[in-house]
Structure 1
Amino acid sequence: MVKAARCGYVILIMAAYWMTEALPLAITALIPVFAFPLLGILSTGECCLVYMKETNMMFLGGLTVAIAVEHCNLHKRIALFVILHVGQSPRRLMAGFMLTTMFLSMWISNTASTAMMVPIVDAILVELYATRSKKQEENATAIDMSVTSGQNQLELSPAGENGVSDGHNAIDTNNHEVEKEDKITDEEIDAANAEVFRQRHIMRRALLLGVAYSANVGGTGVVTGTSPNLVLMAVLQDSFSEPTGLNFATWMAFNVPGMILCVILAWIWLQVLFMGLFRKQSPIQQSTPERTAAVRRLIRQKYKELGPMTHHEATVLTLFIILVLLWLFRAPEFVPGWSAWFKDAFEGVEVDDATPAMLIVTLLFILPARLNFWCFRNPKDPEPPQPSPACMNWQVVHEKIPWGVVLLLGGGFAMAEGANKSGLSAWLGDQLVAFDVMPKEAIVFVVSLMTAMLTEVASNTATASILLPVLKEMALNISVNPLYLMLPAAVCCSYAFMLPVATPPNAIVFSAANMKSADMMKAGFIMNIICVVVITVMINTLGVALFDLQHMPPWANSTINALN
């Protein structure tokens, strides 16, 4: 119990530093390296080993492939292609931006996907809400016609005193009308421009919030999408010796439907909030056919500027697809995966997801980005052949990989290891047995809501590292399948929509849209509730069907028996 108290003290210090950012997050993650050995919780060797586990290597591999996608501009091609084909009306544009950001955020970092979308949003809105309206052009044309009419009346007036007088009166009358027309037109132009500016501002906030929400939710779709997913996989791998049934394929089977549902509901909510959906009068008017065509021309022009797909892009896309397929079919559960061949051939050698990730990364550094050698070279080219660069180089990887996140993951693993070895997780799990009086569905909702609120003020990796070991012990103590509590909590670590400091996408959008914190909190609070409700429904329907959550699994029972 004394060792558990010491471990709890270290975790409280780390949690306080992570929430207040008194120290950089990565430096706080290194505290267990000296604190755990000095307090007798873990030896230095045991503590350091968990900083580079298989999960971290998988994370590095997936991140390097994602950087290769960014490096060759393949992500921009995908984004423009989707937006071009979804549609150019305000509602269709929002759907296109959100679906594109969601898909990209599954594979590349949510920060990169958000940062890429912001300038595209601005460029499209310039065309969609141009300050010179068609009404302004019509008014200018009417003025020209009025002046021309006055001149014609002067020329066609009959000779004589009355005729001259009539002609003079005609000129005065028309000049008076022109001045009046000019005055009215200026007012109409100012009013029209003010209205266009107001609609553009509303639409910009709606689109940017949609991009941020989609980036945060998109990371839940695959295991490598965001750090809390990897923390969950690592905790399950360390805690249970037998397969738990949660792998790359089953993760996607469970989380992709929920991810898509959350994005659709976010799209509806933003329309209710900003576009007046279900209201008689919408604050954003539908775009004219002329402006819709202008937006389409702009997107098509930007897409054409990328040119045809290069050999570099095609190679990276092929390797990316191969990696996803290798992850999906390594151990899909419903059929023997390809890793079983090596396990049978080499006497129980386990091949995990880090192996195909590092294989693809190595190929990225081997395969050329251009075919300008041997039979691929144009014989008419007067220039001597030059060595082709590889699809990826170390300088790009070194600059773009967030090494602090790697340390943050390692610190979370060390914290979880210390809590497990010291008995702190078991003690906390015993204290939470009182929740057993509640219905299991209510427990999931409370845990998910608590996690979503905590991740607003703390790093999502730190939140997952602290909560998941405790939830594992709580589930074992109340005889509930650990996945029933741990999986929704891990997903909810990504549901940070309320505060600018919660996630990098929120911070990027908050700065770009010049919005107030209250505006983001009002929209984000409802999004938090929506997503928590969705994950609660999903775990009690699809989750039960996929993982048989109504019964304690054999892999959990064996752990309970070992502890007893």
Structure 2
Amino acid sequence: METRQKIGLFLGPLLFAIFYFIPSITGLGDEPRAVLAVTLWVAAWWITEAMPIPATSLMPIFLLPIAGGADQSTAAMAYADPIVFMYMGGFTIALAIQKWNLHRRIAMFILSYVGTGSQRIILGIIIATAGLSMWISNAATALMMLPIALALIEEIKEKNFFDEASLNRFAKSLLLTVAYAASIGGLATIIGSVPNAVFVAVASNSLDRTVSFFDWFLFGFPLTLILLTGMYFYMTKIQFKVENQKEISSDFAKDQLKELGPMSYEEKAVLTVFSVVGFLWMSSGFLPEAYTLSDTSISMIGAVSMFLFPARQEKGGLMIWKDMKELPWGILLLFGGGLSLAAAFESSNLTEWFGGLLEGLGVLPFIVILIALAAIVLFMTEIMSNTAVSNMLLPISIGLALAIGVDPYPIMAIVALTASCAFMLPISTPPNAAVFSSDYLTINDMVKAGFWMNILAIFVIVLFVYFWQPVVLN
């Protein structure tokens, strides 16, 4: 056990005891004080990983009722929130895509059409990575795209298109764009990044406001395009100044497509289910409410269909239950733990207490508050799980909004979006860790490039939330 884990192991119960048994510290009543004490314990263990994060996420089920912060139903019901099942369905569909190698075919198809030139190749990698990350976890996307990027680098190296210095710049730019595009792509959809889904769930449970898949896409997709465009120009023109070697072509991707051969029956079936699910999610923005299904129902229909439609290369369906071992159950538990605490915040009125503490911030210009919050959340996420950060801060952000008399959505959106944009350190996100494992990057490369990507993300997200969010997400 690491030192920070040992510290956290004792810090969590200590914080609980101090805030629970000494009422004068907060002046809170029994119920909100219990919720605060439980939250501090769980947060301490999330931050320090004193226990595995999914295991810690189960603690609100028993701590909240024991401490008197919420009844058993309130504490446990959040683990079966519709957004949890929506994510479960999305994960299942993503597993089917990965199982039958459809994601690789999609990536190679995109790369085969980007044209010639080293900068075009980087652009193709960005489009493919971000496009996949909208539907598949950023970790899985990065791990799939990393071998493709490394193979491209090796092929270019063998053909001597660049001198050593130019090749080094190209390799660094290509690999970091894989990591960054995997994180940025997830901003576009509810299922692309966990904090997005936490936003939707908290909005539904605490504010009684519904955000559909289409609503979020209309909000998040343009932001994703802007960030990806900014990243492309920054990485290729400023940070690494990649020479645009025109002789480099997309033949590599075309060769890979030939190796994959014709689409199998299973790939076609998975693509059909995926396409129908995507269409139904998007159609909610156009069809009358009477003719639409909930996003969760659509997700689960897609997931069950993967088990229903038979495969030809193995017994059973496109998915069999053994495949579900790969489903990230821990993320679903983390969802539940965060939503359980958020429900307790709401039922105990603890949100209003936090609002009172933050009331003094109301004297600042709203955009300054957004910038400060974005910076705090983003740099917290450099060393913490983005799901843990969003679980802790989204309920508090509602209190902040109440305190300064503004709509909670912009503040919540800042928390959700910036929690997914940690670019500086290998430990910040799984995609960062994946590309750092190659021999082409140093910690200095990632910190230098990532710092300015963080700054770019802060200002783009703040401006986008300030001007665009009230138009499409209200």
Work out whether the TM-score is over 0.5. Answer: yes
The Cα of 1:273 is off from its aligned counterpart by 4.4
1:420 aligns with 2:322: no
Change (3 A) 1:83 1:537: same
Residues 206 and 343 in structure 2, CA contact (< 8 A), matched pair in contact too:
no
Q: Distance in 2 between matches of 1:34 and 1:273?
A: 52
Structure 2 counterparts to residues 314-325 of structure 1, below 5 A: 314-325=268-279
Task: Name whichever of 1-10 and 408-417 sits farther off.
Answer: 1-10
Match of 2:198 in 1: 231
Residues 119 and 243 in structure 2, CA contact (< 8 A), matched pair in contact too:
no
Count how many residue pairs are aligned between Structure 1 and Structure 2: 446
Q: Distance in 1 between matches of 2:107 and 2:386?
A: 27
Over residues 362-386 of structure 1, what are the superposed CA-to-partner deviations in whole Å (9 max), with x where a residue is unaligned? 111111233xxxxxxxxxxxxxxx9
Q: Secondary structure at the match of 2:112?
A: helix
1:247 aligns with 2:201: no
Alignment RMSD (CA, Å): 2.1
Q: Distance in 1 between matches of 2:32 and 2:443?
A: 39
Residues 58 and 333 in structure 2, CA contact (< 8 A), matched pair in contact too:
yes
Q: Distance in 2 between matches of 1:335 and 1:51?
A: 30
Change (3 A) 1:18 1:272: farther
**Counterpart pick for 1:262 among 224, 227, 250:** 227
Change (3 A) 1:507 1:387: closer
Q: Distance in 1 between matches of 2:473 and 2:150?
A: 44
1:303 aligns with 2:257: yes
Change (3 A) 1:387 1:61: closer
Q: Distance in 2 between matches of 1:230 and 1:516?
A: 33
Q: Distance in 2 between matches of 1:516 and 1:14?
A: 34
Return the letter of the residue paired with 2:233: I
Residues 4 and 423 in structure 1, CA contact (< 8 A), matched pair in contact too:
yes
Match of 2:176 in 1: 209
Structure 2 counterparts to residues 406-555 of structure 1, below 5 A: 406-513=332-439, 515-547=441-473
Residues 87 and 191 in structure 2, CA contact (< 8 A), matched pair in contact too:
yes
Return the letter of the residue paired with 1:66: A
**Counterpart pick for 2:76 among 29, 32, 48:** 48
Change (3 A) 1:7 1:121: same
**Counterpart pick for 1:220 among 154, 171, 187:** 187
Return the letter of the residue paired with 1:308: P
TM-score normalized by structure 2? 0.89
Return the letter of the residue paired with 1:287: Q
Match of 1:129 in 2: 157
Q: Distance in 2 between matches of 1:357 and 1:92?
A: 35
Q: Distance in 2 between matches of 1:462 and 1:471?
A: 14
Change (3 A) 1:54 1:285: closer
Residues 130 and 196 in structure 1, CA contact (< 8 A), matched pair in contact too:
no
Return the letter of the residue paired with 1:208: L
Higher Cα radius of gyration: 1
The Cα of 1:286 is off from its aligned counterpart by 4.3
The Cα of 1:260 is off from its aligned counterpart by 0.8
Residues 203 and 274 in structure 1, CA contact (< 8 A), matched pair in contact too:
no
Q: Distance in 1 between matches of 2:442 and 2:255?
A: 34
Change (3 A) 1:263 1:271: same
Change (3 A) 1:514 1:271: closer
1:85 aligns with 2:98: no
Q: Which consecutive unaligned segments of at least 5 residues does structure 1 have?
A: 135-194, 277-283, 343-350, 371-385, 549-564
Change (3 A) 1:454 1:448: same
Residues 83 and 100 in structure 1, CA contact (< 8 A), matched pair in contact too:
yes
Match of 2:67 in 1: 39
Change (3 A) 1:396 1:388: closer
Q: Distance in 1 between matches of 2:50 and 2:440?
A: 27
The Cα of 1:227 is off from its aligned counterpart by 1.0
Q: Distance in 1 between matches of 2:132 and 2:291?
A: 32
Match of 2:282 in 1: 328
Match of 1:187 in 2: none
1:313 aligns with 2:267: yes
Q: Distance in 2 between matches of 1:487 and 1:232?
A: 7
Residues 204 and 513 in structure 1, CA contact (< 8 A), matched pair in contact too:
no
Identity percentage over the alignment? 34
Over residues 504-543 of structure 1, what are the superposed CA-to-partner deviations in whole Å (9 max), with x where a residue is unaligned? 1111111124533232122111111111111111122222
The Cα of 1:274 is off from its aligned counterpart by 4.4
Match of 2:319 in 1: 392
Residues 306 and 317 in structure 2, CA contact (< 8 A), matched pair in contact too:
yes
Q: Distance in 2 between matches of 1:445 and 1:432?
A: 16
Change (3 A) 1:420 1:444: same
**Counterpart pick for 1:113 among 141, 149, 152:** 141
